[in-house]
Structure 1
Amino acid sequence: MFAFLPLFLRLPLVALLIALSTLAHTLPLFVVAFFKWLLPLPAFRRACNHVLVGLAESWIAVNSALFGLFTRTKFVIEGLEDLKTDGHYLVFANHQSWVDIPVLQKVFNRRIPFLRFFLKSQLIWVPLLGPAWWALDFPFMKRYSKEMLAKRPELAGQDTIATRRACEKFRDMPVSVMNFVEGTRFTPEKHARQLSPFAHLLKPKAGGVAFVLDAMGSALHSIVDVTLVYPGGKPTMFDLMANRVPEVRVQVRQRAIPAEFLAGDYESDRPFRARFQQWMNGVWRDKDEQITRMRVD
Structure 2
Amino acid sequence: MFAKLPGLIRIPLAMLLLGVNIVLHVLLLFVFTLVKVIVPFRPIRQACSRVLVVIAESWIGVNNHLFDGFTRIRWQVEGLSGLRRDGNYLVLCNHQSWVDIPVLQKVFNRRIPFLRFFLKQQLIWVPLLGPAWWALDFPFMKRYSRETLVRHPELQGKDREATRRACEKFRHMPVSVMNFVEGTRFTPAKHKAQSSPYRYLLRPKAGGLAFVLDAMGEALHAIVDVTIVYPEGPCTLMDLIAGRVHDIRVHVRERPIEATLIGSYDEDAAFRGRVKSWVNTLWSEKDAQAARMQMAAKAAPTGE
For this structure pair, what is the TM-score category when the shorter chain's length is used for normalisation? Answer: over 0.9
Deviation above 6 Å: which 4+ runs of structure 1?
none
Give me the whole-angstrom Cα distance separating, in 2, the residues matched to 1:45 and 1:212. 25
Report if aligned partners of 2:224, 2:254 keep a CA contact under 8 Å in 1: yes
- Map 1:33-44; keep pairs closer than 5 Å: 33-44=33-44
1:207 alignment counterpart = 207
Q: Which amino acid aligns with 2:192?
A: A
> How far has the Cα of 1:44 moved from its partner?
1.2
C-alpha distance 231-172 of structure 1, shift in aligned 2 (>3 A): same
SS in 2 for 1:178: strand
Give me the whole-angstrom Cα distance separating, in 1, the residues matched to 2:73 and 2:151. 49
Give me the whole-angstrom Cα distance separating, in 2, the residues matched to 1:38 and 1:84. 33
1:284 alignment counterpart = 283
Q: C-alpha deviations, 1:233-268, integer Å up to 9, x for none? A: 111111111111111000000000111222x11012
> How far has the Cα of 1:68 moved from its partner?
0.3
- Map 1:11-160; keep pairs closer than 5 Å: 11-160=11-160
Report if aligned partners of 2:260, 2:274 keep a CA contact under 8 Å in 1: no
Give me the whole-angstrom Cα distance separating, in 2, the residues matched to 1:23 and 1:109. 20
Give me the whole-angstrom Cα distance separating, in 2, the residues matched to 1:40 and 1:49. 14
Give me the whole-angstrom Cα distance separating, in 2, the residues matched to 1:10 and 1:172. 43
Q: C-alpha deviations, 1:51-95, integer Å up to 9, x for none? A: 000000000000010000011011110100011111100001000
1:270 alignment counterpart = 269
SS in 2 for 1:204: coil
Give me the whole-angstrom Cα distance separating, in 2, the residues matched to 1:42 and 1:170. 16
Give me the whole-angstrom Cα distance separating, in 1, the residues matched to 2:220 and 2:146. 33
SS in 1 for 2:265: coil
Q: Which amino acid aligns with 2:62?
A: V
Asked if residue 242 in structure 1 is aligned to residue 242 in structure 2, the reply is yes
Give me the whole-angstrom Cα distance separating, in 2, the residues matched to 1:152 and 1:31. 40
Give TM-score scaled by structure 2 length. 0.96
Give me the whole-angstrom Cα distance separating, in 1, the residues matched to 2:232 and 2:197. 24
Most deviating of 150-159 and 112-121:
150-159
Asked if residue 9 in structure 1 is aligned to residue 4 in structure 2, the reply is no
Report if aligned partners of 2:222, 2:254 keep a CA contact under 8 Å in 1: yes
SS in 2 for 1:202: coil
2:301 alignment counterpart = none
Question: How many matched pairs?
Answer: 296
Q: C-alpha deviations, 1:12-39, integer Å up to 9, x for none? A: 0000001101111000100111111112
SS in 2 for 1:75: strand
Q: Which amino acid aligns with 2:211?
A: F
Q: Which amino acid aligns with 1:130?
A: G
Give me the whole-angstrom Cα distance separating, in 2, the residues matched to 1:110 and 1:40. 29
Give me the whole-angstrom Cα distance separating, in 1, the residues matched to 2:41 and 2:184. 38
> How far has the Cα of 1:41 moved from its partner?
2.4
Give me the whole-angstrom Cα distance separating, in 1, the residues matched to 2:137 and 2:275. 28
Structure 2: 5+ residue stretches without partners = 297-304
Q: Which amino acid aligns with 2:129?
A: L
Give me the whole-angstrom Cα distance separating, in 2, the residues matched to 1:133 and 1:173. 16
> How far has the Cα of 1:133 moved from its partner?
0.1
Q: Which amino acid aligns with 1:218?
A: E
> How far has the Cα of 1:10 moved from its partner?
0.4
SS in 2 for 1:54: helix
Give me the whole-angstrom Cα distance separating, in 2, the residues matched to 1:164 and 1:211. 7
Of all paired residues, the percent bearing the same amino acid is 63
1:259 alignment counterpart = 259
Report if aligned partners of 2:92, 2:225 keep a CA contact under 8 Å in 1: yes
> How far has the Cα of 1:40 moved from its partner?
3.5
SS in 1 for 2:183: coil
Structure 1: 5+ residue stretches without partners = none
> How far has the Cα of 1:161 moved from its partner?
0.3
SS in 2 for 1:249: strand
Give TM-score scaled by structure 1 length. 0.99
SS in 2 for 1:265: coil
Give me the whole-angstrom Cα distance separating, in 2, the residues matched to 1:228 and 1:60. 19
SS in 1 for 2:250: strand
Q: Which amino acid aligns with 2:124?
A: I
